[in-house]
Amino acid sequence: MMWKYYLFLSGISITCQTVLGQANIEQSPIDSKDLMTTVKFLSSERFKGRLPGTVEYEQASRYVATRFKNAGLNPLLGNSMLQEFDEEVNYILDAKVFLIDQNNRPTQPMYLGEDFVCRGFTGSGEVRGETVFAGFGIKTDEYNDYRSIDVRNKIVIVFKSAPPWKPISGSWGDTSPRGKARIAKELGAKAIIIIGEPQMTPNTMVYGSIACGPKPHIVDFPMIHAGSRLTDSLFSKLPFKPAEYYEMIKRDKAPHSIETDKSVYINVRAVYHEAKKTYNVVGYIEGSDPKLKHEYVILGAHLDHVGYQGDRLYFPGANDNASGVAGLIAIANAINKSATKPLRSVVFVVFSSEESGLKGSKHFVANMPFTADKVVAMLNFDCVGQGDSIAIGGKLSYPKLWKKAKKLDHKTTKLLSPRTFGGGGSDAQAFHEVGIPTLYFHTSGGYKFLHQITDKPETLNVLVFEKVVHLGYLTTMELANKNYKREMDRQKRKAS
Ligand SMILES: [Zn+2]
Predicted confidence (pLDDT) per residue in 180-229, tens digit:
999 999 999 999 999 987 766 555 568 899 999 999 999 999 999 999 99
Interval between CA 452 and ligand 1 midpoint (Å): 10
Cβ(416)–Cβ(471) under 8 Å? yes
| pLDDT at residue 276, rounded to an integer | 98
* CA distance between the termini of the chain: 30
Quote the CA–CA distance of 356 and 92 in Å, as a whole number.
Answer: 16
* Other Cβ atoms closer than 10 A to 137: 28
Q: Work out the pLDDT band at 494, boundaries 50, 70, 90.
A: confident
Helices then strands, each counted (H, E), the chain: 12, 16
Interval between CA 305 and ligand 1 midpoint (Å): 6
Interval between CA 443 and ligand 1 midpoint (Å): 14
Interval between CA 456 and ligand 1 midpoint (Å): 13
Q: Which of 352, 406, 342 is nearest to 376 (CA)?
A: 342
Q: Which of 233, 158, 146 is nearest to 188 (CA)?
A: 146
Interval between CA 315 and ligand 1 midpoint (Å): 10
Interval between CA 457 and ligand 1 midpoint (Å): 15
Interval between CA 303 and ligand 1 midpoint (Å): 10
Interval between CA 154 and ligand 1 midpoint (Å): 32
| pLDDT at residue 21, rounded to an integer | 43
| pLDDT at residue 27, rounded to an integer | 81
What average pLDDT is seen over the chain?
93
Where does 382-436 show beta strands of DSSP type E? 389-393
Q: What is the pLDDT of residues 91-114, one digit of tens each?
A: 999 999 999 998 889 998 999 999
Interval between CA 2 and ligand 1 midpoint (Å): 4
Cβ(1)–Cβ(209) under 8 Å? no
Interval between CA 143 and ligand 1 midpoint (Å): 32
Domains and CATH numbers, the chain: 3-89+273-495 (3.40.630.10), 90-271 (3.50.30.30)
Interval between CA 150 and ligand 1 midpoint (Å): 36
- Predicted TM-score (pTM) above 0.95: no
What are the residues whose beta carbon lies below 5 Å from ligand 1 (ion)? 1, 320
Interval between CA 210 and ligand 1 midpoint (Å): 9
Q: Which amino acid is at 259?
A: E
Q: Work out the pLDDT band at 447, boundaries 50, 70, 90.
A: confident
Interval between CA 453 and ligand 1 midpoint (Å): 12
Q: Which of 133, 174, 123 is nearest to 156 (CA)?
A: 133
